[in-house]
Amino acid sequence: MNRWSDVILRVAYTWTGSPQDAQDVCQTVLLKMLTHPQRFDEPDRERSFLLRVTINCCKDLKKSAWARKRVSLEAAADAAVTMPEPGESPVLEAVLALPEKYRQAVYLRYYEEYGVDEIAALLGCRPAQVSTWLYRGKAKLRIMLGGSYGQECVSD
């Protein structure tokens, strides 16, 4: 639990967009891990397995009637503008605002440092499709962040 809960929680948060839902998914994944212990020879295989289970739990949560029919308190209130918390990364906020397929690919590639082939295996698609999602996701991020965010010009 100590080793994997942080990774599971972060991945679940990128999928659900809600800290509470991410905690629920994390709890579900850890309970599955405890009730059906599976031993792995390599930590990378265990990590891939846990991420796959996490992604599947997030998909199950999104498909549930409870998740489809609920409305957050923030959405129910007439607050038109929500201000970001101080210290939050504008890049992470932009990544979380991407469409789901781009968000998943970009997060797994740049935050969890998975390769394209590993992401394809986790998401159940072809590596070429993941490459396309990464390319399009980065293009959307460039537009969202003003085109040159994080790029510094070096003059000779």
- Specify whether the CB–CB gap between 8 and 30 falls below 8 A: yes
Provide mean pLDDT across the span 129-149. 87
Amino acid present at 8: I
The answer to whether 101 touches 116, Cβ cutoff 8 Å, is no
| pTM beyond cutoff 0.75 | no
**CA separation (Å) from 34 to 27, 29, 94, 95, 132?**
10, 9, 35, 32, 37
Under the banding of pLDDT at 50, 70 and 90, the label for residue 117 is very high
Q: In this predicted model, what pLDDT tens digit does every residue of 20-40 receive, in sequence order? A: 888 888 888 888 888 877 777
